[in-house]
């Protein structure tokens, strides 16, 4: 995983330094470590985050010595998937690189210990009707731990329930067991969440300097304390990456770069955004850095007038009935303002403004039925000169 990257200047010292922070020999694990060693989530998590942060540094993506401002970072949207939210928090300036790696190491060890208590696992359910998939997952005593978009929902829980789901899959769906240590993002990880809750009070997070989307609901997080609280709660909460993809499309993103180890999220984005004209690049090796730098420069070269839409839609992140917030049309909405919720048969999903703007028009009424992706409100973006 790391071998090809070690030819870059400063790579080896970076991973030695990151390993010292994480309390694990990341350099050895990422080059000569065998499959048995690497599958231990206690070391996999800090290795993945360190690798992503190193490549972000190569691309100039880390906050510099001069503090970023929300205005300066308004054209950059950052999100992660599961442990990738720790990387995202560092790139948004919420945590230092050192704090992100240290917190990831604690998270990994705590989750490994929780996995050892009860044999659990995860399986991807590909295809099928979403409601039928969720019903089947619940019928077998499992939890929909990841809602990834592109027709993929990940079930998690006891191994016998996962076996039963694979034997009796939902119609037009296939079930693929995942090589993970346990049922992440479920109540089986409660001991790990409690351990993290006991130590994050020692951190002093900064407010995001770039637009940071949360796995909880795809909404923008506008305070460091809220971002840190969500990093802790996501250990036992579902990852709603489909909502993050919906928000990015709604924001009008024109290009996306996935940091390594890359490929899975880029694949989801390409399938979910098919035909949307959004360029998606997975940085899988040093050979991709030139393309990534060119893409970044091309995006920086766009003037705001060229790519900022006249208005943007707020879309439903899930199927259900709408309960709009009591917000009048014409109201200024800072990023993160609650706009209501979507109540489905199995869950309730909150909807928030993902960026600063003015509520131009409600497109739904109380009790309306919507599908995921249906527009519910129209906002005019506000531009800071």
Contacts of 260 by beta carbon, 8 Å cutoff, 6+ apart: 51, 52, 55, 282, 283, 284, 285
Give me the phi and psi of 207, to 5 degrees please: -70, 145
Exposure on the CB side of residue 327, measured as CA atoms within 13 A: 27
Task: Let me know if 291 is a catalytic residue.
Answer: no
Contacts of 312 by beta carbon, 8 Å cutoff, 6+ apart: 250, 251, 252, 355, 357, 378, 379, 380, 381
Task: Let me know if 188 is a catalytic residue.
Answer: no
- Distance (Å, rounded) from C-alpha 159 to C-alpha 182? 9
- Give the residue among 190, 216, 193, 207 at the shortest CA–CA distance from 85: 216
- Distance (Å, rounded) from C-alpha 233 to C-alpha 269? 25
Give me the phi and psi of 57, to 5 degrees please: -65, -40
Distance of CA 1 to the CA centre of its chain: 21
SS (H, E, C) 318-340: CCEEEEECCCCCCCEECCCCEEE
Exposure on the CB side of residue 224, measured as CA atoms within 13 A: 17
Catalytic residue among 68, 82, 223, 225: 82
The enclosing H or E element of 143 equals strand 143-149
Strand order in the sheet with 348-352: 348-352, 338-343, 320-324, 369-370
Helix axes 84-91, 97-117, angle to 10 degrees: 160
Cβ atoms of 184 and 167 within 8 Å: the answer is no
- Distance (Å, rounded) from C-alpha 133 to C-alpha 154? 10
Catalytic residue among 185, 188, 209, 352: 185
DSSP character at residue 354: S
Catalytic residues: 82, 185
């Amino acid at each position: 995983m790391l071998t090809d990257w070690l030819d870059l200047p400063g790579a080896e010292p970076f991973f030695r330094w990151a390993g010292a922070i994480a309390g694990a020999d990341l350099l050895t694990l990422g080059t000569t470590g065998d499959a048995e060693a690497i599958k231990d989530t206690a070391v996999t998590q800090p290795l993945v985050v360190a690798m992503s942060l190193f490549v972000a540094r190569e691309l100039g993506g880390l906050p510099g010595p001069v503090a970023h401002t929300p205005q300066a970072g308004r054209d950059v949207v950052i999100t992660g998937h599961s442990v990738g939210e720790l990387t995202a928090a560092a790139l948004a300036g919420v945590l230092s690189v050192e704090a992100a790696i240290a917190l990831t190491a604690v998270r990994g060890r705590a989750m490994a210990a929780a996995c050892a208590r009860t044999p659990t696992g995860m399986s991807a359910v590909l295809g099928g009707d979403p409601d039928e998939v969720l019903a089947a997952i619940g019928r077998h005593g499992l939890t929909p731990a990841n809602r990834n978009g592109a027709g993929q929902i990940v079930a998690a829980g006891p191994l016998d329930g996962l076996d039963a789901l694979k034997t009796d899959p939902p119609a037009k769906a296939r079930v693929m067991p995942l090589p993970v240590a346990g049922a992440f993002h479920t109540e089986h990880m409660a001991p790990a969440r409690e351990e993290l809750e006991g130590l994050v009070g020692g951190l002093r997070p900064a407010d995001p300097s770039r637009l940071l989307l949360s796995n909880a609901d795809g909404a923008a997080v506008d305070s460091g304390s809220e971002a840190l609280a969500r990093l802790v709660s996501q250990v036992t909460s579902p990852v709603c990456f489909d909502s993050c993809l919906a928000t990015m499309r709604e924001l009008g993103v024109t290009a996306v770069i996935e940091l390594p180890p890359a490929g899975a999220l880029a694949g989801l984005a390409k399938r979910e955004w098919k035909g949307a004209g959004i360029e998606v690049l997975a940085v899988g090796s040093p050979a991709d850095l030139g393309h990534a730098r060119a893409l970044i420069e091309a995006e920086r070269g766009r003037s705001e007038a060229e790519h900022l839409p006249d208005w943007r839609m707020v879309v439903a992140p899930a199927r259900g009935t709408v309960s709009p917030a009591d917000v009048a049309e014409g109201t200024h909405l800072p990023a993160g303002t609650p706009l209501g919720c979507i109540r489905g048969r199995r869950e309730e999903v909150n909807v928030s403004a993902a960026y600063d703007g003015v509520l131009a028009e409600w497109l739904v009424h109380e009790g309306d039925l919507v599908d995921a992706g249906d527009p519910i409100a129209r906002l005019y973006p506000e531009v800071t000169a």
